[in-house]
Amino acid sequence: MQIRSLGYLGFESPHFKEWETFGPEIFGLGLGEPGADGTVRLRMDDRHQRISVHPGDEERLAYVGWELKDKAAFRAAVKELEDKGFSPRLGTPEETADRQVQGLARFQDPFDFVHEIFYGATFTSGSFLPGKPMTGKFVAGLDGVGHVVFVVPEITPELEEFATDVLGMELFGDWVATTADGRQTGPQFYRCNPRTHALGFVAVPGMRGVQHIAIESDHLDDVGRAYDLVQERELPITITLGRHMTDNLVSFYMRSPTGFDIEFGAGGTLLDESFVQANPSNSEAWGHKFIAKSWAPTVKPLAD
C-alpha cells in the first residue's frame, strides 16, 4: 500500500474535556462538532477532525489513521493486509461515522499499536476557524497532521518491514545509537509525502507507548506566541525551543493533558524527489534542552 499522510489521531483520556480549551487556546486548533459521548474533535483545516480525544479510563493512544488515495487503494490495501497476516477488521458504520470517512479498516502493528487505514475524509470548504488568532495557518491538507513517535522496546527488522513494506513508507533518517549488545535505539523516521516524517520509533528497552505527536504552523510567530503562553500559564514544557538539525523544524515540546508530549513547530523541511538520506552530526542545531526527567506517562513498562 502507499500511505499518503497521517490523516488523523485518536486518543482516550479521563481528561478529554480539557482539550476543548487546551487545543484552541494554546495552539489555535479549531473545535469540531463534539461526539455524542462528548468526544472532543480538534481541527487543523477543512477536514472535520484531525485529533479526537474520546472519554476513557486510561490515558492512551486509541488509533492512528493513515490516509490512502481512494477506494481502490483502500480495497487493495485491505487485501494486502489479509495476505500478510495482519487480519484487518473493516470499520463499523459507527466507526466510519465517528472518523467521518467513507471507509476504514483496523489492524495492529508488531507492538500492538492500533492503526487504521481510511479513504474519503469529509471536508467542508472554507469552514476552518482557528481557536485563536493565528499569524499563519496549520500545515495540514494532503500532507496530514504531522507526525507521531512511538517508544518501542526494540527496533526489530519486523517493525522496519512494517513501516516500509506494509505501510509503504520511505526511511528519512536512521540515527542509530547501537548499544553494546547490538540493539538499535533509534530514532528512526519514516515519510510518505513531502514532510520529512509522519512516523517515528525510539527504542527504550522494556517500554512501549506514544511519546509525542507533532503539529506545525507555517509561521514561526504562532510557535513563539504559544511558547510565551505556555510559560505564562506555567504549563509543563518538556523540551525547550530549538531547531532540529534533522528537519530544520523550530519547535518546543510540552506535556498534554493526556500525558503524551505535543511538539509545536514551524519551518520543517519539505522534500522532493531529490532527497537522499543524510546523517547530521547532531540532532539539534540549537536549543531543544530536555526539561522533562522522564518519558511521557503514556510510555509504560511492557508488563503494565
Start-to-end CA distance of the chain, whole Å, equals: 33
Minimal distance, residue 17 CB to Fe ion, in Å = 26
Nearer to Fe ion among residue 106 and residue 255 (C-beta)? 255
Nearer to Fe ion among residue 19 and residue 150 (C-beta)? 150
How many Cα neighbours within 13 Å face the side chain of 81?
A: 25
Interface residue with Fe ion among 202, 214, 226, 250 (CB under 5 A) is 214
C-alpha cell at 201: 520509533
Minimal distance, residue 142 CB to Fe ion, in Å = 20
**Read out DSSP for 40-81?**
EEEESSSBS-SEEEEE-SS-EEEEEEEE-SSHHHHHHHHHHH
Nearer to Fe ion among residue 121 and residue 250 (C-beta)? 250
247 scored as a contact of Fe ion (CB under 5 A): no
Minimal distance, residue 42 CB to Fe ion, in Å = 18
Nearer to Fe ion among residue 210 and residue 214 (C-beta)? 214
Burial 120-142 (b: 16+ CB within 10 A, else e): ebeeeeeebebbeebebbbbbee
State whether the Cα torsion 239-243-244-245 is positive or negative. Answer: negative
Give the CB-nearest residue to Fe ion: 214
Which window, 65-73, 86-94, 134-142, 209-217, contacts Fe ion (CB under 5 A)? 209-217
215 scored as a contact of Fe ion (CB under 5 A): no
User: Using CA atoms, how far apart are residues 213 and 89, in angstroms rounded to an integer?
Assistant: 25
263 scored as a contact of Fe ion (CB under 5 A): yes
User: Using CA atoms, how far apart are residues 133 and 141, in angstroms rounded to an integer?
Assistant: 19
**Read out DSSP for 206-217?**
TEEEEEEEEEEE
Which window, 13-21, 129-137, 187-195, 213-221, contacts Fe ion (CB under 5 A)? 213-221
Minimal distance, residue 212 CB to Fe ion, in Å = 6
Which window, 1-9, 103-111, 203-211, 261-269, contacts Fe ion (CB under 5 A)? 261-269
Phi-psi region of 141 (alpha: psi -120 to 50; beta: other; left: phi over 0): left
Minimal distance, residue 103 CB to Fe ion, in Å = 29
Rounded to 5 degrees, φ, ψ at 203 are: -95, 125
Which window, 7-15, 103-111, 159-167, 257-265, contacts Fe ion (CB under 5 A)? 257-265
Nearer to Fe ion among residue 55 and residue 224 (C-beta)? 224
Q: Cβ(143)–Cβ(44) under 8 Å? A: no
Minimal distance, residue 19 CB to Fe ion, in Å = 20
User: Using CA atoms, how far apart are residues 39 and 153, in angstroms rounded to an integer?
Assistant: 31
Which window, 61-69, 115-123, 179-187, 255-263, contacts Fe ion (CB under 5 A)? 255-263
Nearer to Fe ion among residue 12 and residue 263 (C-beta)? 263
| # of chain residues touching Fe ion (CB under 5 A) | 2
User: Using CA atoms, how far apart are residues 77 and 80, in angstroms rounded to an integer?
Assistant: 5
C-alpha cell at 137: 495557518
User: Which stretches of the chain bind Fe ion, using CB under 5 A?
Assistant: 214, 263
